[in-house]
Amino acid sequence: MAGFGKGSRSGAGRGLVESRRKPASASVKSGYTGSMNNHDALPIDLMVAPIWPQWQRLSRLLFSGQIAFNSELARWETTEFDTEHGVRLRDRTMQSKYRVTLDEHLTTLRDRSQFFEVILIKAYSLMDAHGRYVRYILDSKKFELLYRVPTESELQIIFDIHLTGGVEAWGGKLLTELGRDWRIIDGKAGLIQTSILRNAFAHGYVSATQGMLDAAVERGASLPLAAGDPIALTFEQCRLHLSRIKSFCRRLDGGLINLAKVNSQGQ
């Protein structure tokens, strides 16, 4: 990495570090081996559905990534150079010949849409996987899977399940079977909007098309865009989309918990 010029000063991380330690939870998140015939389903926080450890990692990546971006920007924006526009950066630990000018580096750090798009695509894939997991439990009646990790053979069956239609179709079917409605963050229309934008990012669209807007209306939603408008994500928008997805998945979980309780009481 290039050295500092005369009068350089580093403001790395200034005002960005805040340490708060929470007490460890006494809840055991896995390893439940009891039966479901005790006439009482366990709390939702004890569920060991495969989505939630991955969701925690993804959420931390979103927030830690934002902290890292802000910290790196603060580091360079508070550093003075005699010839700032001639500075080139290189990280030798990457074992690569890649070099970038400081101007290009800062421009990349300020435009984080692609980072947030990748986060959203991953989050949506977790929701899809969770839908297959819920579908398997409903079909197999293996409610004990709420509190134990699926076996390899069960995971393969879950992986092979095909959810038909858009999220409003397969998601609506699951909610109906679970006795739940679309009372999630921004409702069904909000999740459809998230679905359309996720598909656009996954297929490389950089601007909204009329077909995209028409599809949103046909599916019962809308996009805050006009044909030709660029599509991108900010940190706040990415958080909103992830909140919608998490809200929907938790709605499914709540239905499963209640159904497991009803099933155990009938035994």
Nearest Cα to Cα of residue 130 among 255, 259, 262: 255
The per-residue pLDDT for 46 is 56
Kindly list the domain boundaries of the chain, sorted by start residue.
112-265
Residue 91 confidence class, pLDDT cut points 50, 70, 90: confident
* Residues found in the chain: 267
What value does the mean pLDDT of the chain take? 84
The per-residue pLDDT for 267 is 59
Q: Taking the CA atoms of 138, 128, 248 and 24 in sequence, report the sign of the dihedral they define.
A: positive
The per-residue pLDDT for 103 is 86
Tens digits of per-residue pLDDT, 108-146?
999 999 999 999 999 999 999 999 999 999 999 999 998
Tens digits of per-residue pLDDT, 211-246?
999 999 999 999 999 999 999 999 999 999 999 999
Mean pLDDT, range 193-207, rounded to an integer: 97
Residue 96 confidence class, pLDDT cut points 50, 70, 90: confident
The per-residue pLDDT for 23 is 41
Higher-scoring residue by pLDDT: 153, 47: 153
Pairing of β 100-101 and β 88-89 = antiparallel
Count Cβ atoms below 10 Å from residue 161 Cβ, excluding itself.
15
pTM of the model: 0.81
The per-residue pLDDT for 52 is 93
What is the DSSP annotation of 66-107?
Answer: HHHHHHHHHHHHT---TTGGG-EE--GGG-S---EEHHHHHH
The per-residue pLDDT for 245 is 98
Quick check: helix, strand or coil at residue 42? coil
**Alpha helices, H only, 141-206:** 152-160, 167-177, 187-202
The per-residue pLDDT for 259 is 93
Residue 207 clears pLDDT 70, i.e. is over it? yes
